[in-house]
Amino acid sequence: MITINPFVELSAYIPSIAMQAFLILMVILTVGGTILDMIHKKNVKFFFENSKKAKLSATKSITTGEKASIIAKTVAHDILASGEFCGVKRRSAHLLGMYGTIIFWVTSAIMIFSYSTPSSITPSIYPVLWHIGAIMTCIGGYWFWFILRVDVRVEGNKWFRIVFADLFVLSLVATSTFGLAWSYFQSSGATGLSTLFFALFVISNVALFGGVYWSKFAHMFYKPGAAIQKHLAEADGSRDDLPEPADLPEKYGLGIKRSEPQNY
């Protein structure tokens, strides 16, 4: 199973061009949903206005070299290593999901555009990575959903409480889960179950990429820019007038203590 390209087997029933067109449609839905999200929430406008305000309140200037260094460190620490997550478990789950998803998407695109015809001979590395990426996404996603969600453990909400913002995580995990199930039943010759999970795989992809406007999908495009702006503002002193973090009163003995997380 793990060395078999499921898209080659699928090409006996669905033309390669149709698979490629579907992937392109998902990209268009992602771009369109992100643009609508930016227009509705005015994220980009807020970002640039905030950047202008930061420049006016800066207390010192930083060189181009310093800016490049800050950007490089931010990309390495905050983005590639998810350094904004303090807890090891939450950070590990996020990294598993993030890199698993990247591997899954990239290898899907490679196999669909280069190795999705009946006569294709797919290098084994691509289907192996495709399956590994899907498994990583499932581990990170299920770990987050059932164990690490803050609103469940602290606010006392049930694990099955679902809001629109959860659409991204749920459809992402569903896509990987149904993809693995489809591949397994396809390789084992269970035609009926293979067809069922392929249909679910397609539906979950449509929900994932078509639901960008309603989910947190677009958030991952804003996050790098916000992180870079934050660290540049810290370097030039324009963040010095921000209020102290909420946990400082407890740190300095002002009598305000945080409640311990409750288990439900």
Residue showing tokens 């569903």: 174
Give the tens place of pLDDT for each residue, 6-31: 999 899 899 999 999 999 999 999 99
* Residue 2 DSSP class: T
- Asked, for residue 174, whether it belongs to a domain, the answer is yes
pLDDT of residue 244: 46
Question: What are the structure tokens assigned to 174, written together?
Answer: 């569903």
Give the tens place of pLDDT for each residue, 39-87: 877 666 666 666 666 666 767 778 888 888 888 888 888 778 877 776 7
261 or 97: which leads in pLDDT? 97
pLDDT of residue 66: 83
- Asked, for residue 173, whether it belongs to a domain, the answer is yes
Residue 203 has pLDDT above 70, yes or no: yes
| Average pLDDT of the residues in 171-200 | 96
* Least confident interval from 26-30, 32-36, 226-230: 226-230
List, in sequence order, every beta strand (DSSP E) within 13-145: none
* pTM of this prediction exceeds 0.85: no
Q: Which domain holds residue 130?
A: 6-54+67-232
Contact 154, 33 (CB under 8 A): no
Rounded Cα distance, 227 and 172, in Å: 24
- Asked, for residue 244, whether it belongs to a domain, the answer is no
pLDDT of residue 224: 74
Rounded Cα distance, 140 and 196, in Å: 25
3-class SS of residue 61: coil
- First-to-final CA distance of the chain: 39
- Asked, for residue 85, whether it belongs to a domain, the answer is yes
Residue 264 has pLDDT above 60, yes or no: no
- Asked, for residue 239, whether it belongs to a domain, the answer is no
- Asked, for residue 248, whether it belongs to a domain, the answer is no
Give the tens place of pLDDT for each residue, 239-254: 654 444 444 444 434 4
Most confident of 135-144, 208-217, 233-242: 135-144
- Asked, for residue 198, whether it belongs to a domain, the answer is yes
Give the tens place of pLDDT for each residue, 81-140: 877 776 788 889 989 999 999 999 999 999 999 999 988 899 999 999 999 999 999 999
* Residue 50 DSSP class: H
Mean residue pLDDT across the chain: 81
Q: Identify residue 45 by its one-letter amino acid code.
A: K
Give the tens place of pLDDT for each residue, 150-185: 655 555 666 567 777 788 899 999 999 999 999 999
**What's the total number of domains in the chain?**
1
- Asked, for residue 177, whether it belongs to a domain, the answer is yes
